[in-house]
Amino acid sequence: MPLLKSWVASANDAAHPFPLNNLPYGVFSIDGDDPRCGVAIGDLILDMQSAEEAGLVQLVDTPLFDVPYWNDLMEQGPAVWAALRERLTALLAEGSPEKDKVKPHLVAQADAELHMPFAVSEYTDFYAGKNHAFNVGTMFRGPENALPPNWLHIPIGYNGRASSVVVSGTNIRRPWGQLKGPNDDKPRWAPCARFDIELEMGAIVGTPSDGPITVQEADDHIFGYVLLNDWSARDIQAWEYQPLGPFQAKATATSISPWIVTKPALEPFRCDTPEREVELLDHLKDYGPMLYDIDLEVTMAPAGKAASTIARTNYREMYYSAAQQLAHHTTSGCPMNAGDLLGSGTISGATKESRGSLLELSWGGKEPLTLDSGEERSFIEDGDTLTLKGAARGDGYTIGFGDCTGTVLPALEDPFAR
């Protein structure tokens, strides 16, 4: 598919992340006004609340955009999702006869503050990237026992905290926790010293379900995707994770990018999951290409310093797709809700420079990274800003997500002080 031309000139730049082909959904405010739904087009945002009030967008009998989140649209289902995209394309396309009616409802992105684009109902994080799982397993168990016995058969995951999901730009406070090193006689209470990121994609469930669904149905239920940073306290995790897996090590925060990129925008970039080493059971088998060719990168910027790119990889490295993860999640009869968020798991490639976490990049701290500033890092230091970037590149256009950024603040001197 080539670039779709818009009368918004900035949307026609091949390198711009928000062409007419994209039309991602977010929530914004101007000058402290109440947050409202918006659609990114080039350097501008279409105010959906005012557009709906003006009669430019009318999809159902009741308002959908008088709330500061996209969940109400999600709950309408795929037919209404498609109708909105068709209407937005007609309003913003080059030669649109309604151009002059739309112009008053556009605001500059440079003037906008971005907020959480949807209300997160539940959050589940997976461990579905094979290179990451192999690297981490090798560090702790050796290469011969790197992957757990079930790993090649099911997408492993854990239930996280929806309450700690935050939008890009939110500062992240270094957590306190119970730590116990290999040479310690007993655990101690202290700030995390091995704070890390995980480069992930997040899939947003748009259609609820109440019982098992197939992989194909699961793919149809997904509303869109965001970049996701699963902040991880590795030293807290090392002490707590047995026997039930991550808990407080993953509860500090999960950052997401501010714009929801919908499935239709990503359709030209579909690709297959990797060749299976073990045949999956029928209820998890692929039904066509279910991953996406999305270039990803991570940058790190010490306080007051320029950013260094520390990793580059691609979403196609995942072993399990979001559709397979969602289908597996439902197999027990677990209900899924509109607004549920599924983290993909860390997306690492086969080479060192494509590893999606500092744990892997520094090999547990044994091989520190050297940044462009000359500073070394094994894990995140206070004041460091970590940024995830993602883009799918088509014929004369780019589909972007907006950066997913967080700056780490020092741990509180006394976490119980009031």
**Structural element, H or E, at residue 343:** strand 341-343
Q: Assess contact for 260 and 226: CB atoms under 8 A.
A: yes
Q: Is it true that the peptide bond before 63 is cis, omega within 30 degrees of 0?
A: no
Of 87, 79, 95, nearest in space to 12 by CA = 95
Q: How far is CA 137 from CA 132, 147, 149, 233, 235, in A?
A: 8, 6, 12, 17, 16
Phi–psi pair at 251, nearest 5 degrees: -95, -5
Q: Assess contact for 221 and 203: CB atoms under 8 A.
A: no
Residue 410, judged by CB atoms within 10 A of its CB (0-12, 13-18, 19+), counts as exposed
Distance in angstroms (rounded) separating the CA atoms of residues 81 and 280: 32
Residue 115 annotated among the catalytic residues of the structure: no
Half-sphere exposure of 137 (CA within 13 A, CB side): 15
Instruction: Please tell me which residue in 16, 105, 132, 328 is annotated as part of the active site.
Output: 132
Q: Assess contact for 221 and 206: CB atoms under 8 A.
A: yes
Q: Assess contact for 197 and 181: CB atoms under 8 A.
A: no
Of 264, 285, 277, 145, nearest in space to 206 by CA = 264
Of 200, 215, 402, 230, nearest in space to 318 by CA = 200
Angle 341-344-350 from CA coordinates, rounded to 5°: 165
Please give the structure tokens belonging to residue 356.
Answer: 């999606």
Contacts of 240 (CB under 8 A, 6+ apart): 177, 178, 246, 247, 248, 249
Q: Is 281 helix (H, G, I), strand (E, B) or coil?
A: coil
Helical H segments across 253-370, by residue range: 263-266, 322-330, 358-361
- Tell me the catalytic residues: 132
